[in-house]
């Protein structure tokens, strides 16, 4: 049995949704078993919902009403394209209308309160998937398949960490099996909402932006799927983001560990948590292009024996490098521990750490949105040391990015860092800081924003990752 996830561009309009139906029917025919389908909202819808909720909270009634109108029009157009039976099209139109009324009422309450809570935001954001699953299931039925839209609030049980909820796997396994297996046995394709879940009490949550991939692997784990297929708008996992590196190449295979590093460091083709549930059970993942379903895509699995140094280059933007400096830090045990305990208490995650050998400074990288909280936490922790001038300064530099080179083949091979630095130096790009991941699968470095795209291209070229070159 296969779990397949279709991303936002794969369900972006009626034509695309009809194509999802055809791909699903073909998979059923070829494998002889009914797949589970997980879908995202139509592309751009989740962003619109977010804008509706935040403008409502700031006293604007016009924007959410406009957005409601746009969503209604876009979904109606898609229904007209892919649901030919007039009665079914009318019923789906009415259901869409009711869901949008509910959305408008919710925005109205947010407007009245003048406040948007994380819980309220999650309720709003999940609407896109609730609409797209109904539409996709209706399109499949229109094509003569058996399908049913399923809300993941009935399947994925999460904690109450709104905006970034984590699945409670035991409860989810029981619910997923109870809700989905009977459908599969009856040959009905369950079309499940990606991105959302609910607490054990039934309150709607979301698993984080871009997390429909993760929804698919959670379900794959719970149903012991044979494979999970992620359908997107690229040919697979590539050596770099093709929007930045035009000659980026599709990888035939990549290991769980490598793809986890790539996605953690910015390769948006897979959500960073996607691999966790499947790696535990050695369930292979394929990344495929829904616009060209005949292409082979990328296979992600346990071990990949390939003699390449570097698999891919990625970048994360909108970061800040925070530096804690002071002569009084030298040889004082526990400073680093206290810095990271303070950051940890603030609930912020650190993307990269480095300490100079003189022990006079520790620097680490966080997302820029988190900087004020982090700096405040450290200042409070070291109030006394700062008064005594043991710590001189807590500095921060905004508008930096991390570039990461990832590949299991880098492990134990000398000279990689020198080649990376050389490639950047040739372009006149200076490196602010560098760190090597403990796995040795990853070399990360910090550069200023303006240098990031050129830096990625330079390293990509240096390791011969482009389409026509071979790796040296
Ligand atoms: P979906 O809506 O299908 O989940 P996403 O936009 O989340 O699609 O992810 C696919 C996009 O990820 C691609 O269009 C591509 O621009 C981007 N991307 C970034 N890095 C990579 C990479 N290394 N390989 C493939 N795609 C990448
Ligand atoms: N629709 C959600 C988002 O845009 C989830 C996803 O697309 O994976 O974040
Ligand atoms: Mg995605």
Q: What is the pLDDT along the chain (472 residues), one digit of tens a residue?
A: 999 999 999 999 999 999 999 999 999 999 999 999 999 999 999 999 999 999 999 999 999 999 999 999 999 999 999 999 999 999 999 999 999 999 999 999 999 999 999 999 999 999 999 999 999 999 999 999 999 999 999 999 999 999 999 999 999 999 999 999 999 999 999 999 999 999 999 999 999 999 999 999 999 999 999 999 999 999 999 999 999 999 999 999 999 999 999 999 999 999 999 999 999 899 999 999 999 999 999 999 998 776 788 999 999 999 999 999 887 777 666 888 889 999 999 889 899 887 666 667 888 999 999 999 999 999 999 998 888 888 888 999 999 999 999 999 888 888 888 999 999 999 999 999 888 765 678 899 999 999 999 999 999 999 999 976 444 4
Rounded distance between C-alpha atoms, residue 445 and residue 434, angstroms? 4
Q: Is 7 in the pocket of ligand 1 (CB under 6 A)?
A: yes
Which ligand lies nearest to the CA atom of residue 239 in the structure? 1
pLDDT of residue 407: 93
Q: What's the pLDDT at 308? A: 85
Task: Report which bound ligand comes closest to the CA of 40.
Answer: 2
What's the token pair of residue 408?
Answer: 């299991």
Nearest CA to 455 out of 432, 419, 435, 425 is that of 425
Q: How far is CA 306 from the centre of its chain?
A: 27
Positive or negative torsion for Cα 100, 102, 105, 109: negative
| pLDDT for residue 97 | 98
Atom of ligand 2 at shortest range from CA of 8 = 7
What single DSSP character describes residue 350?
P
Strand partners, 234: none
- CA of residue 210 to ligand 3 center, whole Å: 5
For residue 291, which of 10, 40, 35 has the smallest C-alpha distance? 10
For 321-412, where are the alpha helices, taking DSSP H only?
335-345, 371-381, 383-387
The H or E element containing residue 231 is: strand 227-232
Does residue 215 line the site of ligand 1, with CB under 6 A?
no
pLDDT at 303: 80
310: left (phi over 0), alpha (psi -120 to 50) or beta: beta
Atom of ligand 1 nearest to the CA of 242: 16
- Show the DSSP H helices in 147-232 as ranges: 169-185, 212-222
**Measured from the CB, is residue 242 less than 6 Å from ligand 1?**
yes
What pTM was computed for the model?
0.94
């Amino acid at each position: 049995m296969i779990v397949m996830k279709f991303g936002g561009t794969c369900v972006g309009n009626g034509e695309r949704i009809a194509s999802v139906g055809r791909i699903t029917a073909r998979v059923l025919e070829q494998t002889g078993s009914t797949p589970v389908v997980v879908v995202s909202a139509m592309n751009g819808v989740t962003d619109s919902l977010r804008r509706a909720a935040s403008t409502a909270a700031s006293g604007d009634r016009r924007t959410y009403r406009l957005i409601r109108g746009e969503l209604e029009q876009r979904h109606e157009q898609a229904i007209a394209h892919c649901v030919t039976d007039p009665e079914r099209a009318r019923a789906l139109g009415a259901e869409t209308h009711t869901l949008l009324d509910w959305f408008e009422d919710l925005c109205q309450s947010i407007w009245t309160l003048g406040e948007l809570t994380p819980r309220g935001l999650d309720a709003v954001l999940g609407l896109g998937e609730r609409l797209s699953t109904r539409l996709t299931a209706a399109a499949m039925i229109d094509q003569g398949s058996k399908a049913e839209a399923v809300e993941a609030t009935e399947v994925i049980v999460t904690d109450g960490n709104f905006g970034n909820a984590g699945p409670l796997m035991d409860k989810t396994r029981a619910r997923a099996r109870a809700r989905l297996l009977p459908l599969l046995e009856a040959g009905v394709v369950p079309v499940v909402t990606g991105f959302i879940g609910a607490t054990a009490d039934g309150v709607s949550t979301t698993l984080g932006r871009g997390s429909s991939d993760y929804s698919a692997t959670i379900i794959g784990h719970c149903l012991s799927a044979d494979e999970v297929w992620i359908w997107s708008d690229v040919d697979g996992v590539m050596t770099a983001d093709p929007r930045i590196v035009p000659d980026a190449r599709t990888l035939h295979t990549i290991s769980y560990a490598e793809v986890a590093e790539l996605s953690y460091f910015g390769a948006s083709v897979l959500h960073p948590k996607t691999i966790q549930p499947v790696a535990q059970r050695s369930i292979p993942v394929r990344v495929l292009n829904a616009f060209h379903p005949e292409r082979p895509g990328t296979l992600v699995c346990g071990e990949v024996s390939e003699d390449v140094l570097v698999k891919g280059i990625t970048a994360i933007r909108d970061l800040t490098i925070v530096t804690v400096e002071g002569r009084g830090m030298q040889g004082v045990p526990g400073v680093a521990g206290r810095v990271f305990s303070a950051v940890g208490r603030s609930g912020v995650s650190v993307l990269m750490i480095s300490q100079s050998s003189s022990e006079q400074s520790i620097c680490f990288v966080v997302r820029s949105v988190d900087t004020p909280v982090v700096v405040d936490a450290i200042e409070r922790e070291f109030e006394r040391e700062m008064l005594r001038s043991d710590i001189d300064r807590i500095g921060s530099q905004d508008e930096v990015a991390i570039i990461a080179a990832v590949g299991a083949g880098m492990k134990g091979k000398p000279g990689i860092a020198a080649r990376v630095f050389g490639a950047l130096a040739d372009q006149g790009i200076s490196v602010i800081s560098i760190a090597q991941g403990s796995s040795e699968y990853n070399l990360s470095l910090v550069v200023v924003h303006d240098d990031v795209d050129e830096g990625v291209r330079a390293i990509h070229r240096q390791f011969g990752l482009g389409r026509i070159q071979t790796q040296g």
